[in-house]
Structure 1
Amino acid sequence: MKFINKRLSLVLLMLTGLTLTAQSKREKIDGVIGVVGDYVILDSDIDLEYIALKANGVDVKQISRCELFGKQLEEKLYAHQAIQDSIIVTDTEVESFMNEQIDVMVERVGSIDKVIAYYNKKNEEEFRNYFFEIIKTNKLTSAMQKKIVDEVEITPEEVRNFFKEIPEDEIPVFGAEVEVAQIVVKPVVSEEAKQATIAKLREIRREVLDGASFFTKAVLFSEDPGSSSNGGYYKMNRKTPFVKEFKEVAFSLAEGEISEPFETEFGYHIIMVDKIRGQEVELRHILITPKVSNEAVKAAKEKIEGIRTKIVNGEISFADAAKSSSDEKETRNNGGVLLNPRTMESRFELSKMDPSLYGQISALKEGEVSQPIMDQEQGKSKFYKIITVNNKTEEHKAEFSKDYMKIKDLALRDKQIKTIAKWTDEKIKETYIKIDKDYQNCDFTNNWIKK
């Protein structure tokens, strides 16, 4: 696929993530190797880039200083143009994201002092000022990239022409794919089990109010694998991806307050708020899931066996059975069809499928229904499911009508790359750019020297 790969090399311009590169306003500083508009690039920025790449496990032996310098020139061009186009990145947005990133760093290395030392800063204030500017620049860069790409659209005729232009020996090969559907039956939790769980949480709450340690209680009793060993601790803001019910309770509490037991899809919780810092809440919680009786598990298995029998005997279609009987709300209205989390489409490429799901469907023929399978999502109760393969496509060379959506994605990306390349070339001509003499012999992808 040389034809496509040659163009995809530029897609990095669109997908650039956060990188640790310093910036400041234009001024005469020793070590300045490049200027783009109001942004400068220091020679030491390249060193920091290498450090950041190594920290993320990247082999930097084959990455030259010229390549990293070219990448930083691109980022600064985007950020500079974002300001010219009045794209706004608020300090609050930057501050919030920065705090999240610093928390991750501290968790990895053990303390803020180690983070400060790693980046060779004098104190936390200097590090935060430095990191703030990095994040703001990168957010401006991302916003500018998104603006350019979002304006690109593609017509069916353009897709057709794109496919026609691919040389015969470079037409892409798409891997074997399947569409999978499932029906889920969950054991019914008795009211007695629910009340027993609520009573246990109320007992814990009362003991903490009487002086017991919430941390210790969470370690002993919480069934949340993500936080129990850390005393149930979480830090969150309103954008943190927690379930709605959990967030509503967390943000309704005052510092030191402990909630009454409440229910989410994971079970029952109590929350204690440790600290409130602006839009962020530091809290501890305890999760206990009501216990399912053996009788309920047996009943769930019998129910799903009955559903399978009706499908196999032709009394009902798999899709209709899913709509009428599945306990999985995310899929039942769609006939039980699973969505690929990578593409949000209904097809799964076998080579990239989750190993556990692949193991469950690999032996199934198209239209065949599996025997009942006991499964469990992390932090939730066990359940039974049956699976079918709606259709299966073998590995094949791309066909326009059969693979139109995939070809459309390739064509759109190709057009986006061309648009970005054109935009970059035009903005380089319009923008003040200066390259230090030590880097003027670099073989840049873009015309930074303006020859």
Structure 2
Amino acid sequence: MLSKKLQLKTIDYKSVLTICFLLFFNSILSAQEVIKDSVVAQLPVEAPSGQKLKIDGIIANVGDYIVLDSDIDKAYLEITGQGGSVKDISRCQMLGKLLEDKLYAHQAIQDSIIVSDAEIRGMMDERLNYMIQQVGDINKVVAYYKKNSVEEFKTYFSDILKEQKLASEMQKKIVDAVEITPEEVRNFFKKIPASDLPTFGAEMEVAQIVVEPKVSKEDKQKVIDRLKSIRQDVLDGSSFATKAVLYSQDPGSSPNGGFYKMNRKTSFVKEFKDVAFSLQEGEISEPFETIYGYHIIMVEKIKGQEVELRHILIAPTVPEEALKDAKERISNIREKIVSKEISFADAAKTESDEKETRANGGTLINPNTQDTRFELTKMDPTLYGQVSNLKDDEVSQPLLTADEKGKKTYKLITVTNRIDAHTADYAKDYTKIRELALKEKQIKAIGKWFDDKIKDTYIKIIGEYKNCTFTNNWLKK
């Protein structure tokens, strides 16, 4: 996150652009387009000390990709710009990471991994919008990166994004192919010496009951009519992407013109998937409802099992009277639970409006681990604030909450179980142990992948870096 002190009034816009650029990429280190050996880096950057960096030539080739000496300096700058320490990272180690990213991207192309132009445009729009918000003018961005026009800068920026996306998709492909059996998990746990067993922090299990304010049929129809009007405008020639930027209430996609790429396994609600996979290329759906509100979808491309689409979400306005009725309803539910007329779990099953938790008595699933436990030190701050002061079996007062899309609901929350900090136990902590075992297996799979691909790929390291000791066999000794 940018420091609160980084105000435009007190900092040169060039510094802001540098920080914006670095923070938006996990790997600026893979941020050079494929260029000829005679070309050197043109991007002027400054080291943390304020000294101008040495801009040198090519130090390595990986397939069609190159690494410049200045890329290492940029990698250091990225880490320090995000508050990290680089004192224990050698230039050889940093080069090793650069080479990994280049090999991922190179092999992604060999494996015919496709990164669509529409997806890159969406990513670019998001990042450019952020940069422009910080400095106020895209021409300042273009001038800082020493490009002659907006189009030239976008071409340069597109190459950066594409390489980064190719690398991440290649790594994901390797990791997703790794599976682990219960027997492998058991053997992994048995190999850990008792003195080295991990310790898990204090955890809790939480359940909730959700009551949604009721929206009138009239308010719903207003939204449906609005979406139908937008749909007709698009059919008459208007830009769907522009309409999404202007009117969609989905913060995750509206800045990108409503763009999403998805397949059958992507974690969208069923109603959205059903509509998305029922449409042909270029077709626009009629308005349909999900738990988030009403949508229309336009499919741009269908590639095998993947769909590239744009959508617009508009949720009906919840009147104050509906909020008041929802609070009264959830207060009555709470009274029944507190008076022992009904258990919290049974009340969740019969009264909660949240489909995802209703069937299991309101128990929440940790999105990071997919089990029911939440480690206190890693719990979402909002959820922690809601449960931290609750005693065992105590039911919270009605809580008015709003999700990231602004949808308001009332909740009751209770802590159903507390687990003290403890040394790993195979039976009690199987899910966590399985995750550790899977990560170890994935690391080994990545290591083997590097061993195999390095042998089959043209790799050249130049000058003093030939003396480096790398984790991977980049020098092919």
Q: TM-score, normalised by structure 1?
A: 0.72
Q: Which of 225, 238, 261 is matched with 2:259 structurally?
A: 238
Two-structure CA RMSD over aligned residues (Å) = 4.4
In our comparison, the structure showing a higher alpha carbon Rg is: 1
CA drift at 1:365: 4.1
Quick one: which amino acid aligns to residue 463 of structure 2? K
After TM superposition, the structure 1 = structure 2 runs for residues 23-422 of structure 1, keeping only pairs within 5 Å, are 23-24=33-34, 27-29=37-39, 31-60=57-86, 62-188=88-214, 194=219, 235-239=256-260, 289-293=317-321, 299-366=325-392, 368-378=393-403, 380=406, 383-422=409-448
2:330–2:412 CA contact under 8 A, matched in 1:
yes
CA drift at 1:414: 0.3
CA drift at 1:196: 13
Partners of 1:336 and 1:88 in 2: CA distance: 41
SS in 1 for 2:66: strand
SS in 1 for 2:320: coil
Quick one: which amino acid aligns to residue 319 of structure 2? K
Distance change (3 Å), C-alpha of 1:238 and 1:289: same
SS in 2 for 1:440: helix
Distance change (3 Å), C-alpha of 1:282 and 1:290: closer
CA drift at 1:351: 1.5
Q: Which residue of 2 aligns with 1:22?
A: 32
Quick one: which amino acid aligns to residue 303 of structure 1? R
Quick one: which amino acid aligns to residue 350 of structure 2? S
Distance change (3 Å), C-alpha of 1:280 and 1:121: farther
CA drift at 1:268: 9.7
Q: Deviations over 1:150-206 (max 9, x none)?
A: 2211121211111122222221111111111111234545678x49998xx9xxx9x
Distance change (3 Å), C-alpha of 1:303 and 1:137: closer
Distance change (3 Å), C-alpha of 1:380 and 1:138: closer
Q: Which residue of 2 aligns with 1:4?
A: none
Distance change (3 Å), C-alpha of 1:49 and 1:317: same
Partners of 1:298 and 1:125 in 2: CA distance: 53
Which range is displaced more, 128-137 or 159-168? 128-137
Distance change (3 Å), C-alpha of 1:357 and 1:81: closer
Quick one: which amino acid aligns to residue 429 of structure 2? D
1:308–1:369 CA contact under 8 A, matched in 2:
no
Partners of 1:95 and 1:76 in 2: CA distance: 22
**Runs of 5+ unmatched residues, structure 1:** 1-15, 206-221, 228-232, 249-260, 270-278
CA drift at 1:40: 1.7
CA drift at 1:45: 2.6
2:32–2:160 CA contact under 8 A, matched in 1:
yes
Distance change (3 Å), C-alpha of 1:50 and 1:111: farther
- RCO higher in 1 or 2 (8 Å CA, sep ≥ 6)? 1
CA drift at 1:80: 2.1
1:66–1:444 CA contact under 8 A, matched in 2:
yes
Distance change (3 Å), C-alpha of 1:287 and 1:417: closer
Partners of 1:350 and 1:133 in 2: CA distance: 41
Q: Which of 424, 430, 433 is matched with 2:456 structurally?
A: 430
Q: Deviations over 1:6-42 (max 9, x none)?
A: xxxxxxxxxx944352032564556110011222212
Quick one: which amino acid aligns to residue 174 of structure 1? F
How many correspondences in the alignment? 395
Distance change (3 Å), C-alpha of 1:18 and 1:46: closer
SS in 1 for 2:390: coil
1:95–1:132 CA contact under 8 A, matched in 2:
yes
Q: Which residue of 2 aligns with 1:217?
A: none
CA drift at 1:415: 0.8
Distance change (3 Å), C-alpha of 1:335 and 1:84: same
Partners of 1:81 and 1:122 in 2: CA distance: 32
1:21–1:49 CA contact under 8 A, matched in 2:
no
Q: Which of 437, 445, 450 is matched with 2:471 structurally?
A: 445
Partners of 2:368 and 2:328 in 1: CA distance: 34
SS in 2 for 1:239: strand
Distance change (3 Å), C-alpha of 1:164 and 1:119: farther
Partners of 2:111 and 2:409 in 1: CA distance: 53
Q: TM-score, normalised by structure 2?
A: 0.68
CA drift at 1:416: 0.8
CA drift at 1:360: 2.9
CA drift at 1:74: 0.9
Identical counterparts, % of pairs: 53
Distance change (3 Å), C-alpha of 1:44 and 1:130: farther
Which range is displaced more, 73-82 or 86-95? 86-95
Partners of 2:70 and 2:108 in 1: CA distance: 25
CA drift at 1:123: 3.1
2:126–2:255 CA contact under 8 A, matched in 1:
no
**Runs of 5+ unmatched residues, structure 2:** 1-24, 41-56, 231-246, 263-267, 276-286, 296-307
CA drift at 1:400: 0.7
Distance change (3 Å), C-alpha of 1:311 and 1:62: same
Which range is displaced more, 312-321 or 400-409? 312-321
Partners of 1:118 and 1:58 in 2: CA distance: 25
1:89–1:139 CA contact under 8 A, matched in 2:
yes
1:18–1:135 CA contact under 8 A, matched in 2:
no
Quick one: which amino acid aligns to residue 321 of structure 1? A
